[in-house]
Chains A and B, each alone.
Chain A
Amino acid sequence: MDYSQFLLMHEELSLLAVILILFVADLFLCPDKKSGKGIYNTCLPVVLLGIHTALNLLPCSCANATEAFGGMYQYTPMMTIVKSVLSIGTLIVFLMAHKWLSRPENLVKQGEFYLLSLFTLLGMYFMIGSGHFLMFFIGLELASVPMTALIAFDKTKHESAEAGAKFILLALFSSALLLYGISLIYGATGSLYFDEISVLLDGSAFSIFGLVLFITGMGFKISLVPFHLWTADTYEGAPTSVTAFLSVISKGAAAFVLLTVFIKAFCASDLMYSWNTGLYWIIVASITVANLFAIRQNNLKRFMAFSAISQAGYLVLALMDGTAQGMTALVFYLLVYMVSNLGAFAVMTSVEENSGKILISDYDGLYATNPKLAFLMTLCLFSLAGIPPFAGFFSKFFVFMAAFKAGYPLLVFIALANTVISLYYYLLIVKAMYIKQPAGEAIPTFRSDNYTRLALALCILGVIVLGLGGVFYNYIDLFSYGV
């Protein structure tokens, strides 16, 4: 056996090492429940994950596209970029969760939070690197089972348990549909390897039914519109840091995997038509319906849920036709969406932890009491809406360009019209913070802890630097590939 093929998996293996170290650290360093004293708090996980990300980004000897274990695991340099984006996102979530995990009831559970979120991340890594449906399915479940435990993390709160129940039941339902789809594809081709499937699949009704069920299962993970009903409830009930993780990391990973599986397995020209038609209507529905629902929300987390559904629609817009340009646009969009959304969530977590408020009407007059936080929130929301100097404008622009070049001008037009609607509801929050007078007491002035500040600084840096430098787009473009 050739052990050097393990080197291809160095990202997964180093993440596994981080998980094992944290597991041992949790045994010995976790703060005592009675005294509340301990050294294991945010610092160690963040440092380890930082080292892990830095190791990922180091140039590797096996920089070319290759496969290991008979094609079960496949590697392309693009995957390193996506995995690094996801791990940086997890790092930011860890930073912003500090204050929440320092609560007395969470202090003893913090080790579980880190382990569960890192296992989710590991599952996404495997899912991204999969070259076989079994590997893909195990990765998908490894990413969703610990996620459920994270959503139901606040054991004593009804909302958290309700969100967890809604998530797990619908996750089971969608993975059953996904499995049925995979079984039909197996029946049509007799293979589960992506490479072999791509050659053997024809446009028969059997394989198209399999493809449709597959898109359904993944659509649930990305929360696209006909499959989005769990999203708002789960986002509202889950702890805010977990919501941030769910809205960016798991969504981004699933969108990228949908694209790579399409490129690897479903690239037969007969299937291309069904794929594009299906996605076309899903994208139109996601962007439009989510925008209309977002306008009427008052809970900020529900609001971000609908905003995330519509952003997912833009993300999937890059998947049309599975072009190389689309892949670049998708990864760049993911990177920008991650910093903007996590920035907004960092502000929300900070406000929630310091004042316990989460409604949009509570944010009235935030500028008067906490001008810096209000300003940072505004930057992130502008970036999410796609206003020019910030990164969000360019990411949307690249996605539109990719879809336009693939030959879908009408779709791009609908998406553009929806950008205007989204600008309206993002500005509702800005209006609440800057213009409205609070009906009762405004949120009092407070000072965020240093970890949250670091998270915010990283996000804002991303929002501004990614907007100004085209270097990143060009760099990602070097590694992209398409059908």
Chain B
Amino acid sequence: MIHLEYMLIISAVMMFAGVFGFLTRKSTLAILLSVELMLNATDLNFAVFNRMLYPDGYEGYFFALFSIAISAAESAIAIAIMINIYRMLKNIQVDELEKMKW
């Protein structure tokens, strides 16, 4: 059986790879992908804790399901806004989103 620690290390690596991507990527779509990576890391966490530590209930699995659905809704609206920006600027690089500063 795979130990709990290995699973948690994978999820932590996913989480912080997402944070790193969020801070360094220039394209808004890549930023969105990084955030999805972070959200998936949390889903993995919930599933792993449920499976390994508290196998009696299903709370963790259900939380993961709900969070997948909600993050899909959030990405949908984020992509809608990006399409709107693309129509105006013909570009979705974050460098272009600098009209308002300081």
Q: List the B side residues contacting A156 at CB < 8 Å.
A: 88
Q: Contact at B38–A137, with CB atoms within 8 Å?
A: no
Nearest CB in chain A to that of B81: its residue:
A164
Interface locus among A145-153, A323-331, A384-392, A430-438: A145-153
Nearest CB in chain B to that of A149: its residue:
B77
CA distance A180 to B19 in the complex (A): 12
The number of residues on chain B lying at the interface, defined by a beta carbon within 8 Å of a beta carbon of chain A, is 41
Name the distance in Å between B51's Cβ and chain A's nearest Cβ.
12
* A-contact bits for B69-102, CB 8 A (1 contact / 0 none): 0110111011001101100110000000101111
Q: Contact at A168–B78, with CB atoms within 8 Å?
A: yes
Q: List the B side residues contacting A186 at CB < 8 Å.
A: 45-46, 49, 59-60, 63
Secondary structure dominating the interface of A = helix
Within 8 Å by CB of B77, from A148, A163, A175, A184, lies A148
* With contact pairs A134-B63, A152-B84, A179-B67 given, residues A141 and B74 touching in the complex (Cβ less than 8 Å): yes
Q: Contact at A169–B99, with CB atoms within 8 Å?
A: no
Does A237 sit within 8 A of B, measured CB to CB? yes
Nearest CB in chain A to that of B78: its residue:
A168
Q: Contact at A145–B81, with CB atoms within 8 Å?
A: no
* B-contact bits for A152-184, CB 8 A (1 contact / 0 none): 100110110111111011011101110110111
Name the distance in Å between B84's Cβ and chain A's nearest Cβ.
5
Q: List the B side residues contacting A302 at CB < 8 Å.
A: 100
Q: Contact at B77–A162, with CB atoms within 8 Å?
A: no
Contacting residues of chain B (22-77) with chain A, CB-CB under 8 angstroms: 22, 28, 31-32, 35, 38-39, 41-42, 45-46, 49, 53-54, 57, 59-60, 62-63, 66-67, 70-71, 73-75, 77
Binding site for B on A (CB under 8 A): 133-134, 137-138, 141, 145, 148-149, 152, 155-156, 158-159, 161-166, 168-169, 171-173, 175-177, 179-180, 182-184, 186-187, 190-192, 232-233, 236-237, 302
28 residue pairs A–B, Cβ–Cβ below 8 Å? A133-B63, A134-B59, A134-B63, A137-B67, A137-B70, A138-B66, A141-B73, A148-B77, A155-B84, A159-B100, A162-B85, A165-B28, A165-B81, A169-B28, A169-B32, A169-B35, A172-B35, A172-B39, A172-B75, A176-B42, A179-B42, A180-B45, A186-B63, A187-B45, A187-B49, A191-B59, A192-B63, A232-B100
Instruction: List 4 tightest A-B contacts by C-beta distance, closest first.
Output: A176-B38, A183-B45, A179-B42, A190-B54
